[in-house]
Structure 1
Amino acid sequence: MSKLWGGRFTKTAEEWVDEFGASIGFDQNLVEEDIQGSLAHVKMLGKCGIVSEEEAETITKGLQTLLERARKGELEYSVQNEDIHLNIEKFLIDEIGPVGGKLHTGRSRNDQVATDMHLYLRKQIEEISSEIKNLQGALLEQAKQHVETIIPGYTHLQRAQPVSFAHHLLAYFWMLERDFSRYQDGLKRVNISPLGAGALAGTTFPIDRHYSAELLGFDGIYENSLDAVSDRDFIIEFLASSATLMMHLSRLCEEIILWSSQEFRFIELDDTFATGSSIMPQKKNPDMAELIRGKTGRVYGSLFSLLTILKGLPLAYNKDMQEDKEGMFDAVTTVKGSLKIFTGMISSMTVRTDVMEKAVHSDFSNATELADYLASRGMPFRDAHEVVGKLVLHCIQKDMFLLDLPFADYKEASELFEEDIYDVLQPKTVVARRNSAGGTGFEQVKIAIEKAEKLV
C-alpha cells in the first residue's frame, strides 16, 4: 500500500522501519480531537468556498461516522499509515471516496497535530482541575472534624510545636489551591489555535483561521505560523504544573506513610488503600501512598524529557517532536489516577486522636511557650531561650517533661515564672494562643476553613 504522501518516492520502507517511525501506537489517543479539528476545518473550507457545500457536507457526514465508530472502538489503525491523521484520512477516503482527500486542503499534519494536543490538554486540564477540587474537599471535611485535635508539628522531623491537625491538613489544601491556579492559568496558553498555520508558512488558500478557532472554542489564534507549529510550551507548562502537583502529593504521601507506621500510629488507612505481605501476616502496608510517591518521578521524567527534546531544535517542525506525546499522555494518566486515589485515601482514613493527644503530652514541643512567657514579662528573648534550654536539659536528665517539673525548679530558673505556667504549657492552650493571621490557633483555623469552603 502506497503512502498518502508517497508520490515523490520510488521505494517503500521496510516494515520494521515503518514501525520505528510510526506514532499510531500512542497518538490514537487523540482520535476524537483529530476528528473534531477536522470537522471545524471542513466547515471553514465550505464557508470560504474552498470546497463546495456539497463536498463539505459529504466530508462532514463521513467524519461524524468515523467519530461514532471511534467511540465504539471499531477503528483498526495501521502502522502503514503512520499516525492518527493519515489513518483517519484513509478511513475517510474509504468511507466517502476520493472527495475525502480534499479535507487536507489548507492545512498540514504539523498544524493538525498541534491542534489535537491543544484540544486534548484543554479537556484534560478541566478534568484534573475537577479532581483537585475533589481532593481539596476531602481534606477540608477531615479538617472540619479535627479543628481541636492536636498533633505534634515537626521541623527536621523533630518535635517542634503542637499544631491543630486541621491546620496541618489545610496546609495541603492551600498547596493544591496553587496547583489548581497554575493549571487554570496555563489554559490561557493551551486555548489558542494553531489550525491553518500549515506546515510552517501558512497557505495560499483564502482560509479563515479565526472562524475555525471559534468553532473549536479557542480564545484566539497563534499570530505566527512558524511559532504555531513548533510551540510545545503549553505542554511543558502542563508538565511543570503536574510535576509541582505530584511533588505536593508526594510530600503528603510521606507523612501518611509515617503517620500510619507503628512508631507514630496517628492514623490508620482504610483497607481499600493498603496491602498485605506475602510472608508476614501482620503487615498492613500503605502501598497506594508509596506508589504515588514513586510515580512522582514519572512526571518529573516527562517534563525533563520534553525540555531535552526541544533544546536546540531549529524552526519549525522536526520529527523529534513526535516524542512530545507519550510523556504527556502518561502524566495525564498518572496525575488523574493519583488524585482519585488520594481523595479516597483521605476521606476514609481513621484519625487516632487518642494517640495524637498522648504524643503532644509526651514531648517538649511546648518549650517555645516558656520562652515567649518570659519574653512577655520583659526578659530579652535570647536570654529566655537560654533559660528554657537549660530547663529542658534538666527535664531530660530527670526523665520528665515540662508539665511534670516542680514549681520550685521554675522559680530557681527565673523569678518571672508564676503558678499560671502550668496552664500556659497545656498543649491546647499552646495551640489556641497562636492566633496570628494564618496561624494554628483554633479561631484562625476556623477562619481558614470558611475561606476554603468558598473555594471548594
Structure 2
Amino acid sequence: MTDPNPSALLSSRDTFFWLCTLDQASTVMTVEQGIVPAEIGARTAAAIARVIADAAEPGADRPTDYLQVEPLVRQLVGPDASRIHSGRSRQDMLATVHRLLLRDRLLLVHRALGELRGRLLASADRYQRAIVPAYTNGVQAQPVTFGHLLLGYEATLRRSAARLAEAYPRVNSSPLGVAALATSSFPVNRTRLAELLGFDDTVHNSFDAAQLSPVDVGFEVASVAMALALSIGTLVQDIHAQYHHARPWIVLDDTGLLAPSTLMPQKRNPVALNRARLLASEVVGDGVSTAMAAHNVASGLTDYKRAEAARTLERALALLAEVDAIAAALRLDEQAALDEVRGDWSTTSELANALQQKADVPFHIGHKFASALVTHGRGRQLTIDQLDFADVRRLYRETAAGFSEAAAELPLTEPQFRDALDPAAMISRYRGLGGPQPAEVHRMLVAARSALVEDVNWREAAEGRLRAAEASLRGKFTALLAQAAGPVG
C-alpha cells in the first residue's frame, strides 16, 4: 500500500488486483512446499505476470470472478496452471479478497480521519478563548469556547479512529488456505500465505475463516463507519443551523462550498453541508445493508459475501473528503458569537452558583431567583446587561420571602452581580475536568495532539509492514519468473 491518493488506490487495487496477488502468493507457497514443481511454478508465474500486464492495458477487462481469471492463465500454460489452486477454493479466496479490500479502505479511512482531526485541532488552537453559545434541546444553554466545542467534535472522531485500530487485527487475519471450509490433504502453509500477503495472523478455525468471520468482521468495520457518520452528521447539522440566523457566527469561508439561488439574490446556500449530510446518511444506509445481507442467512451462502462493508468504507471516504473541505473553510465571527451569548440569558446559572458560593444561599433558591430575572427581562425585551440593579434587588426580595433559608436582601454587590453574569468570567470560573476554562482547553488540546501523533504512527507502522510484505512477495515472485525457460503463450 504505497499510494496515499484514495481514488488511485481504490481503482488500481481492485478485486482483480487481489485475485492475481493471491495467485502470486499461492505460486510462491506451493513451490516452497513442494506441491508444485519449480519449473511449472516458474511457467505459471510468467503466465500470471502476462495476465496482469494485459489487464493493465487501457480498456482491458479486469474480471472479478476467479472462474474468469484462471482460464486466462490456463490458456498460456495449459492445465498445469491449476496446480497452484491445490488446497484452495473460491470460498477462501473470496473471503481473503474481501479482507484485503477492507484492509486498504480501513487504513485510508484512518488516514482521512487523522487529516480531519488535524484541521479541527488547528481551529481549536486558534479559537481557544473565543466565546460561543452552546445548546441543549435546541435552546441556548451555557457559554463555552469554540475551541472547547471543536475539541469535543475531534474526540468523537478520535474514538472512531480507535475503533478502526481495534478492528484492524481482526480484519488483518488471513482466511486463505482453508479451501471451502475444512482445509485439504495438500500441505498448504497458511502461515506462509498470510506472511506473503501482509496479514498479521490467520483465522485459525477453517470453518470460521471462510464461512463465519466474513459476517461479523465485515459488519464490525461497517458499524465503525456508521458511528463515524453519526458523529459527523451532528457536526454538519450544528454548522448548518447557523445559516438559519441573519448573523451566523460559524460560516464557510469558501465560495466553492456555497451556491447561489436562481431566484433569490441574497442566498448563499451551503451546498457542501447538504452533500456531507446526504453522504453521512448513505454511510449509515450502507452499514445497515451490510447487516441485512447477512441477517438470517445460513453459513456457506453467498448473501454476505459481496463486499458491502468495503463499499461502506468507500462512502465513508467520500464523506470525510467533503467534511475535510468544510473544516478547512470553517471561520468564526467572534463578535457575533459573543453578541449572541450576551443577547440571551445563558449565564444565569452562574448567578445561582455565586449566591451559594459567596452567601450560602441554597442553589434551589438562587435558581428560582435567576429564573425570575429571566422572566422579568424577557417580558420587557431586555438583555442581561440592561437589567436595572434596583429591579434585581426587588426580585431577589420577592423570591427570598418564600424561604427562611435565604437572606432577606440580595447578598451580592452590583459589581459581584455583573461579574457573575459575564460570560468570560463565568468560563474562567469553571473548575470541572474537561470544561471550557482556558487551562482545561489547553490541556485537552495538548492531549489530543499527542493522541493524533500516536494514531498516525500506528497507521504508518501498519502501512510499513504491508509495504515490506509486498516487497517480499514481489521479490519471491520475481525470482520464480527468472526461472521461466522463455515467454509463455
Deviations 1:336-360 (A, max 9, x none): 1111121121112222122112111
Partner of 2:288: 304
Q: With structure 2 as the length reference, what TM-score do the two structures score?
A: 0.82
Matched, 1:32 2:14: no
Q: 205-214 vs 410-419, which deviates more?
A: 410-419
Alignment partner of 1:91 is 2:65:
no
Change in CA separation of 1:397 and 1:74 when aligned onto 2, cut-off 3 Å? closer
Segment of structure 1 superposing worse, 94-103 or 129-138: 94-103
Aligned partner of 2:314 in structure 1 is 333
Check if 1:452 corresponds to 2:433.
no
Aligned-partner SS, 1:319: coil
How far off its partner does 1:308 sit?
2.2
Comparing 247-256 with 403-412, which one deviates more in the overlay? 403-412
- 1:267 and 2:250 aligned: yes
Contact 1:222 1:228 in 2 (8 A): yes
1:122 CA displacement: 1.1
Q: 1:290 aligns with which of 274, 277, 281?
A: 274
1:417 aligns with 2:412: yes
**Matches of residues 11-90 of structure 1 in structure 2 within 5 Å?**
29-73=14-58, 75-77=60-62, 83-90=64-71
User: Match for 1:440: what amino acid?
Assistant: P
Distance of aligned partners of 1:380 and 1:115 in 2 relative to their CA distance in 1, 3 Å threshold? same
Deviations 1:53-106 (A, max 9, x none): 12222222332333344455553146xxxx432222122223444332223221
What's the CA shift for 1:126? 0.9
Alignment CA distance shift 1:423-1:341 (3 Å): same
**Which residue identity is paired with 2:420?**
V
Shift of 1:170: 0.9
* Amino acid in the other structure paired with 2:160: D
Q: Which moved more, 1:290-299 or 1:161-170?
A: 290-299
Farther-moved stretch of structure 1 (302-311 vs 386-395): 302-311
If asked which structure has higher relative contact order (CA below 8 Å, sep 6+), I would say: 2
Which residue of the partner structure matches residue 249 of structure 1?
A: 232
Paired amino acid for 2:151: L
What is the rounded CA distance, in whole Å, between the counterparts of 1:164 and 1:237 in structure 2?
35
Greater shift, 97-106 or 185-194, is seen at: 97-106
- 1:228 aligned counterpart, secondary structure: helix
What is the aligned partner in structure 1 of residue 336 from structure 2? 355
Please tell me whether the aligned partners of residues 128 and 336 of structure 1 are also in contact (alpha carbons under 8 angstroms).
Answer: yes
The answer to which of 284-293 and 180-189 deviates more is 284-293
1:201 aligned to 176, 182, 186, which one?
A: 182
How far apart in 2 are the matches of 1:111 and 1:73? 30
SS in 2 for 1:415: coil
1:433 to partner: Cα distance: 1.4
Q: Distance in 2 between matches of 1:73 and 1:39?
A: 23
Asked if the contact 1:166/1:445 (under 8 Å) is kept, the reply is: yes
Distance change >3 Å, CA 184–CA 441, structure 1 → 2: same
Aligned-residue offset at 1:371: 0.8
Match of 1:404 among 358, 379, 386: 386
Assess if the C-alpha contact under 8 Å between 2:132 and 2:337 holds in 1: yes
Counterpart of 2:143 in structure 1 is 162
Structure 1: gaps of 5 or more residues: 1-25
Q: Residues 173, 72 of structure 1: CA spacing in aligned structure 2 closer, same or farther, 3 A cutoff?
A: farther
Q: Distance in 2 between matches of 1:95 and 1:266?
A: 67
Q: Choose from 426, 431, 438 the match for 1:430.
A: 426
The aligned counterpart of 1:379 is 361
What is the correspondence of 1:107-256 to structure 2 with a 5 Å cutoff? 107-230=88-211, 231-232=213-214, 233-256=216-239
CA 112–425 in structure 1, closer or farther in 2 if over 3 Å, else same: same
More displaced, 63-72 or 213-222?
A: 63-72
Separation (CA, whole Å) in 1 of partners of 2:248 and 2:273: 16
Q: Is the 8 A contact 2:355 2:411 kept in 1?
A: yes
Structure 1 partner of 2:405: none
Q: Distance in 1 between matches of 2:185 and 2:265?
A: 72
1:6 alignment counterpart = none
Identity %: 27
Q: Aligned partners of 2:451, 2:13: CA distance in 1, in Å?
A: 36
In structure 2, the CA distance between the partners of 1:429 and 1:218, relative to structure 1 (3 Å rule), is: same
Moved more, 260-269 or 399-408: 260-269
Residue type of the alignment partner of 1:183: L
2:435 is equivalent to residue 439 of structure 1: yes
Q: Distance in 2 between matches of 1:234 and 1:73?
A: 35
Paired AA for residue 57 in structure 1: A
3-state secondary structure, aligned to 1:321: coil
Q: Structure 2: 5+ residue runs without aligned partners?
A: 1-10, 397-408, 453-489
1:333-385 CA-to-partner distances (Å, cap 9, x unmatched) read 21111111211211122221221121111110111111111111211111111
Change (3 A) 1:28 1:438: closer
Structure 1's 97 and 293: CA in aligned 2 closer, same or farther, altered over 3 A?
same
Q: CA deviation at 1:130?
A: 0.6
- How far, CA to CA, are the matches of 2:436 and 2:444 in structure 1? 10
* 2:473 alignment counterpart: none
| RMSD of aligned alpha carbons | 2.0
Q: TM-score, length-normalised on structure 1? A: 0.88
Report the number of matched residues. Answer: 424
Alpha carbons 1:27, 1:84 under 8 Å: kept? no
